[in-house]
Amino acid sequence: MDSTELAPFQDKLSSALVQVTRTVGQLSSEDLNFHRTSSADFAESLDQQSERILALTSAVLKAATVGTDVDAPALDTEESLEDNWRGVVDVIDSLLEKADACLDEFTGVIKKLSPSQEEQAPVVKKAPYFPTIYDYGPSKIPKPQLLFDHKPDNADFGPFHPLLKTKPHATVALEKSLEQQQLNGAAAHPHPYETEIRNAQYPQSVYQTCPPINFLPFEDTTATFVDTMDGVKEMLEELKQAKEIAIDLEHHDVHSYHGLVSLMQISTRNKDWVVDTLKPWREELQILNEVFADPKILKVLHGSTMDIIWLQRDLGLYVIGMFDTFHAASALGYPKKSLKYLLKKFVDFEADKRYQMADWRVRPLPSAMFDYARSDTHYLLYVYDCLRNELIEASTPEESLIDYVQERSKNEALQRYERPVYDAEKGQGPGGWYDLLSRNAGMLSKEQFAVFKAVHQWRDEVARAEDEGWQCVFPKHVLFKLAQAMPLDMGTLLRTLSPMTPLTKDRAADLLAIIKEAKIAGATGPEWRDFAPPPKAPANMAEPDMDHVDFPIAERYETSQFWGDVLEAQELSAPVSYSTAASLEALRLSLPLPPMPTTVSQAREKLGVSANTETTSAPKAAPVPASAPEEPKYFTVKDLGGPRKRKVAAAVTPDQEVSTPDSLVESINEPDSTEKQRKKSRKEKKAKKATQSGSQSEADSTPFDYGAAESILNVPVASAMRPQPKRTFNPYAKALEAPSGARKQKRDDAGKSMTFRK
């Protein structure tokens, strides 16, 4: 194609892409789900167009990958697009690389090799992207647990029995240490090495300061991948000769209910090992207890809380004489305690933590993942040397920080693995619904709470049956969506679960039935707030026996203790229309005011006044004579809309009688007569006051003689001789001589006085 032909083609292609983008934006803004449910024809047409677009996309991807090493992903459904999105990105990346190479060749930046040179040139393949645990679809790697000699039993809720067959370095016999006991009110096996761990002490070298032993260069150190029993035995013989070893694990818990120890890294001062712990004979690795349980050999780990649990659960390994660098960093008051921080501080090594989320079940292990795994233990002994010296320097005769680290490390090593038992009623225990709800605050109704518990239990049962993690069924945010939506038909359920995992898709009908039953049962069931948190025991006390603890019972009053019976519905005394009743009910809910009397008799009862009581305190209005002139038919409302000051009520004089509730009732019935009485009272007061002031003015009625008054024009000499104050200089005097501005016009507000006809 010539350069002259490229410009029109580019313009045509750009306009087509812009039009497609606009159309997609318009479609995304429409409520397609609503239209799909409202019209079956529209839903069928939409599905046909979706299938056509997927077919076209698959054809384009296949055409783009012809003659390349990239495989085109198969797009059969909308869910497959999300599952194979990484494959689509790979195809697009390969196209962009081709376009980049062609442009470089066209501009002369690079020159294309001859055919003979191309055949001789080595083929460099792009390094595959490492698999991550964020792939919650079907496991693309065959499950290794299906080949174990002892397959995991997720339906076993009994006490965990240690895997130990022998007990090296024992002070208590294996048979006695495995006797079943009552621990925390339940039958369980004690820790097999509890006595040995408590009695163990660090070697004397740990309490002595010495220069850190430099680590060997990473590239020059021998690293061995151990995947046979012969390799394990050879490694064991070398480990017995060491004084300190570093240990770390890589764990996988997405495609396994309980989780799997996938790798174990062990390092000495001179060598690194990476042990494959996914072999069928993995339980035979407990022969390493000859080193792990030897108190003379120091075991250095970082953040060993879960490592101790995983070692005894999967491999039957127990650690004696452990030094946890996490507790050492805590004793020294470091701002961060992570292994990444310690490696950066002492070694200046930047760990690539993206491999922390890799799928460690993949075999063969990629070189980048292998190097990351061994780096966790390769530098750890050097970090231990630096921390040990700082701990000794910071210690005092009264307090040894080395002993502090030893006690904390012993507590970590004394942990026991217990199988998680699902408590459907109270939701307690690891993986229960109670912890999930307490950490995600939100008010759920009775029905929603019942659906949440039922769906949570259903998800746990499916995960156990398929030996998958909970997130492979559906993540927790979908669990909350199901509880809030409570779908009762298959269409709503599928939209709520979108995107749907294969495990849920195959069991959608069962899930829908669970939701329907839970919603019906929840109408009369408990609420989330009725469940009180269990009491927490102090750190120095054992956990309480939950079967003998009196939990507080939440009670609810029938009447509000603050508002009383104000919020109760009031019966209407007269029949009213439906709209009027609805308005009154809305007003009652929005403004919870006490009920007001609607008749005079109700007002009397509210005030505690009898209906037969005679009202003698309030003067009644005099009857208007027949010959009285007719009152004007106009009245004026003054100062309408303006701010009005509240007039102070006149003080009650002794000769005035105090009004009684009866007068109040009559004032309600005869407002006009009461107003007339008030006006008459005011006129009488004014007339009385005028009479008093008149008698006083007659006594002081002597006229003022202006002729005999002193002149104020002739100032006395004494006052004239007074020193006049000095006039101060005003720098702004000239500025003040400017013409004054226009005065503010007085606003004449409309409506100040209005006259109305009666």
Per-residue pLDDT of 545-593, as tens digits, reads 555 545 444 455 555 555 565 555 444 444 444 445 555 555 555 555 5
Q: Which residues contact 97 (CB under 8 A, 6 or more apart)?
A: none
For 334-345, the pLDDT digits (tens) are 999 999 999 999
Q: What is the pLDDT of residue 696?
A: 55
Q: What is the pLDDT of residue 260?
A: 94
The larger pLDDT score, comparing residue 279 to residue 729, is at 279
Residue 132 has pLDDT above 70, yes or no: no
- Architecture in CATH for domain 433-548: Orthogonal Bundle (1.10)
Residue 437 has pLDDT above 60, yes or no: yes
The larger pLDDT score, comparing residue 554 to residue 147, is at 147
Single-letter residue type at 257? Y
Residue 283 has pLDDT above 80, yes or no: yes
The larger pLDDT score, comparing residue 604 to residue 134, is at 604
Q: 10 Å Cβ neighbour count for 735?
A: 8
The larger pLDDT score, comparing residue 658 to residue 736, is at 736
Q: What is the pLDDT of residue 685?
A: 72
Single-letter residue type at 33? N
Single-letter residue type at 600? V
pTM score above 0.85: no
Angle between helices 380-394 and 367-378 (to 10 degrees): 20
For 392-409, the pLDDT digits (tens) are 999 999 999 999 999 999
State whether CATH 3.30.420.10 applies to domain 165-413. Answer: yes
For tokens 């000499």, what's the residue? Answer: 717
Structural tokens at position 364: 């063969």
Q: What is the pLDDT of residue 653?
A: 45
Q: Dihedral (C-alpha) 545, 550, 554, 559: value to the nearest 10 degrees?
A: 180
pLDDT class for 657, splitting at 50, 70, 90?
very low
Range name among 164-173, 422-431, 438-447, 453-462 with the lowest pLDDT average: 438-447
Structural tokens at position 282: 């993995």
pLDDT class for 746, splitting at 50, 70, 90?
low
Q: Give the pLDDT mean for 240-253.
A: 95
Q: What is the mean pLDDT of the chain?
A: 77
Instruction: Of 478, 447, 547, 487, give the one whose Cα is nearest residue 182.
Output: 547
Bridge partners of 299, per DSSP, are 245, 322
Instruction: Give one word for 32, left, alpha or beta, with left for phi > 0 and alpha for psi -120 to 50.
Output: alpha
What percentage of the chain exceeds 90 in pLDDT? 39
pLDDT class for 675, splitting at 50, 70, 90?
low
Range name among 195-204, 276-285, 674-683 with the lowest pLDDT average: 674-683
Q: How far apart are CA 435 and CA 442, in angstroms?
A: 13
CATH 3.30.420.10 placement within the chain: 165-413
Angle between helices 85-107 and 40-64 (to 10 degrees): 40
Bridge partners of 324, per DSSP, are 301
Q: How far apart are CA 145 and CA 328, in angstroms?
A: 36
CATH 1.10.150.80 placement within the chain: 433-548
Structural tokens at position 394: 């910071």
Q: How far apart are CA 91 and CA 81, in angstroms?
A: 13
Please answer whether residues 661 and 609 qualify as being in contact, where contact means their C-beta atoms are separated by less than 8 angstroms.
yes
What percentage of the chain exceeds 70 in pLDDT? 65
Distance of CA 1 to the CA centre of its chain: 57
Q: Which residues contact 534 (CB under 8 A, 6 or more apart)?
A: 428, 546, 549, 551
Q: How far apart are CA 377 and CA 309, in angstroms?
A: 19
